[in-house]
Amino acid sequence: MAHSFQLTQGCLQAAYGETQAAPTSYPEATVQILNIKQIQTPAGGSGGPDRWRLIISDGVHFMQAMLATQLNGYVTSQELKKYGVIKLKRYLCNTVAQKRIIIILQMEVLTPFAEYPKQGSPVGLGLSADGPAGNPHGPAQAQNTYPTPVASNSNARGPQQQQYGGSGSGFGNQQHGAGAGGYGGGGGEVPIFPIKSLNPYQNKWTIKARVINKSDVRHWENARGSGKLFSCTLVDESGEIRATGFKEAVDLFYDLLKDGKVFFISKAPIKPANKQFSKVNNEYEMTLDQQSVITECQDTGDVPKVRYTFASLSSLYEIDSNAITDVIGVIRDVGDLSEIISKTTQKPFKKRDTTIVDQSGYEVKMTLWGRQAEQFEANDNPVVAVKGVKVGDFGGRSLSLMGSSSLSVNPDIPEAHALRGWYDAEGRNAHFQTYSSGGGSSSAAGSKRDALKYISQIKDEGLGMGEKPDYFTLRGTVMFVKNENISYPACPSENCNKKVTDIGSGWRCEKCDQTWPAPSYRYIMSFTVSDHTGQIWLQGFNDIGEAMLGRTADEMAHLKDSGNQAEYDLVFAQASFKSFDFKCRAKAETYQDEAKVKTSVMSFAPIDYAGACHELDEMTKRFR
């Protein structure tokens, strides 16, 4: 054999004895395959992908393992063979049919298409030496039965609780004990699984979790039909997961799953998370259906409430637009409840604007929507903690709650107590800085910006190619300003700005249904900017053109029409070879079936060289 492999001795015994499903002592381990058997589908069972059971050894012990179905190709191609050696790169140790079993989710075959001499004289862990599964060289009859995580009524130790859902039953009353290690009776407690261990390859599990961020019921209607749904986030001491209920599950569970309450939950399918709709820190999500079993738990002391990672209000420019974060602040101002019409659905939405402040000396507008806007009351400047708030770029920076956001008023957490004391002592009379989106701002807020990008990064990172625009700051030098077709004749009417047409007797605006003696010209600028990584074309509209050229579009049109070409060209020459920080918006536009990214300048300002030097100094400190 050309290679020698050292098995990770002791890894199986460590995984067998740990209470957490995901191993902590040996996150990766090298083991040997002693046997491979296909699990037979029970009579009358439904079809599905083949499943393979293994006996694996670390040279000291051996135990059963289950191969995740996405790894079946290793067996069917014979790349993984009996006595082969593999590296477990991601695996769990769960209790299945009263036995501890390794579930292999990700691995690397170290001896592809080959066997390897058996290592050591391993003994079984949790296996009977005389039983069919205890002999790694004999036949192994697959058991495809699993314990039910619902306790019987006979020996329940806890208070009476209400269970909803379950196979074949709408909902009913049963008694369940709420012991330290799980719930149940009738001879034993059902083990509680940590949320972080849930995956699509577990058939039976029960979690004990707290409900946060419960959304309103949302309705949809399309060509395939109509329906309703709601979602919430479930948290325990190990992590969090998003749960969504559709149609009948809304009727079963929406009123039961109250924000802040703790529940035992089982029999809910787990699938990969759709990150387009879920901002929860978990690669999987849960679906609640008619078979799901949910029971309220009275013993809630070991389940955390909301986990926050607060961002200071002064740091919002360091967070990308449309990103999700947590904030805490004091409500300084509350607007009236208002209503707007959605541009996409044409349905009315309730909204309420508030202003929050914190010790960093900044204030920012935060918008509440729907039920949160209607029910919100702010008496005596309360402290609010928000989990999952969206950062926007309106007015420089703003915050907006979403359906999945969780808002807590005067929460009992250390950060809230400290903020309350600061505001009552000095913050109530303090002067706060605001975010500004104006070009050339010299305010403290204006010196901050979206993430700084090099020109090469715009293409490499595919900025602007997503469904939503990307916002970033570009530091570069103006190399060339296009001096042709720099403006268009616009309607002089206030807030119109539509292009007008010369009809001989005047300039006609179809929108205003008026004819004007002369138009008001507006810039549509194009210019190139370079940095040390490349060059890019940028577009700017009227405000950008006036700030860059120092002349109005009407003045430039007059120079052009009067034949004063020398002065006209001088204006463009003076605008070149100057360096700025450009706040940009990138979005792909489709023309003749071809998508092309258009990068527009929203504002720009001269480079703060002192601040830039400070930033470079901070960057170099990270590598010292």
CA distance 119 to 31: 10
Q: What is the pLDDT of residue 128?
A: 45
**Greatest mean pLDDT range, 44-58, 169-183, 386-400, 440-454:** 386-400
The average pLDDT across 329-350 equals 81
The closest of 367, 288, 358, 359 to 329, measured between CA atoms, is 358
**What sign has the CA pseudo-torsion 287, 288, 292, 295?**
positive
- pLDDT per position as a tens digit, 56-84: 999 999 999 988 877 888 898 889 999 99
Q: What is the pLDDT of residue 127?
A: 60
The average pLDDT across 337-341 equals 83
Would the pTM of this model clear 0.75, i.e. be above it?
no
Q: What is the pLDDT of residue 36?
A: 93
CA distance 147 to 267: 12
Residue 385 has pLDDT above 70, yes or no: yes
The closest of 21, 577, 553 to 270, measured between CA atoms, is 21
Lowest mean pLDDT among 162-166, 533-537, 595-599: 162-166
Percent of the chain exceeding pLDDT 90 equals 28
Which position has the higher pLDDT, 422 or 175?
422
CA distance 388 to 277: 13
Which position has the higher pLDDT, 469 or 476?
476
Q: What is the pLDDT of residue 621?
A: 67
Q: What is the pLDDT of residue 169?
A: 35
Residue 340 has pLDDT above 50, yes or no: yes
Under DSSP, is residue 472 helix (H, G, I), strand (E, B) or coil? Answer: strand
Q: What is the pLDDT of residue 378?
A: 78
The closest of 301, 276, 291, 280 to 234, measured between CA atoms, is 280
Q: What is the pLDDT of residue 364?
A: 92
The average pLDDT across 479-504 equals 88
- pLDDT per position as a tens digit, 559-588: 988 888 999 999 999 999 999 999 898 988
The closest of 30, 29, 100 to 64, measured between CA atoms, is 100
**Length of the chain, in residues:** 624
Q: pLDDT tier at 129 (50, 70, 90 boundaries)?
A: very low
- pLDDT per position as a tens digit, 502-526: 998 899 988 888 898 999 999 999 9
Q: What is the pLDDT of residue 149?
A: 34
| ∠ Cα 185 188 191 (to 5°) | 105
Which position has the higher pLDDT, 334 or 323?
334
Instruction: Give the helix ranges, DSSP H, for 348-388.
Output: 370-375
Q: pLDDT tier at 342 (50, 70, 90 boundaries)?
A: low
Query: Do 364 and 355 form a contact (C-beta atoms < 8 A)?
Result: yes
Q: What is the mean pLDDT of the chain?
A: 80
Burial annotation 133-171 (CB, 10 A radius, 16+ → b, else e): bbbbeeebebbeeeebbbbeeeebebeebebbbbeeeee
The average pLDDT across 246-275 equals 89
- pLDDT per position as a tens digit, 557-566: 999 888 889 9
The average pLDDT across 148-169 equals 39
Instruction: Give the helix ranges, DSSP H, for 346-407.
Output: 370-375
Query: Do 362 and 319 form a contact (C-beta atoms < 8 A)?
Result: no
CA distance 564 to 558: 9
Q: What is the pLDDT of residue 596?
A: 85
Q: What is the pLDDT of residue 422?
A: 92
Domains of the chain: 11-124 (2.40.50.140), 160-296 (2.40.50.140), 313-429 (2.40.50.140), 452-486+524-615 (2.40.50.140)
- pLDDT per position as a tens digit, 132-144: 334 444 433 333 3
Lowest mean pLDDT among 226-240, 280-294, 325-339, 389-403: 389-403
What's the first-to-final CA gap in the chain, in angstroms? Answer: 45
- pLDDT per position as a tens digit, 280-305: 778 899 999 988 999 988 877 767 67
Q: What is the pLDDT of residue 7?
A: 94
**What sign has the CA pseudo-torsion 44, 45, 47, 53?**
negative
Q: pLDDT tier at 344 (50, 70, 90 boundaries)?
A: low
Phi-psi region of 566 (alpha: psi -120 to 50; beta: other; left: phi over 0): alpha
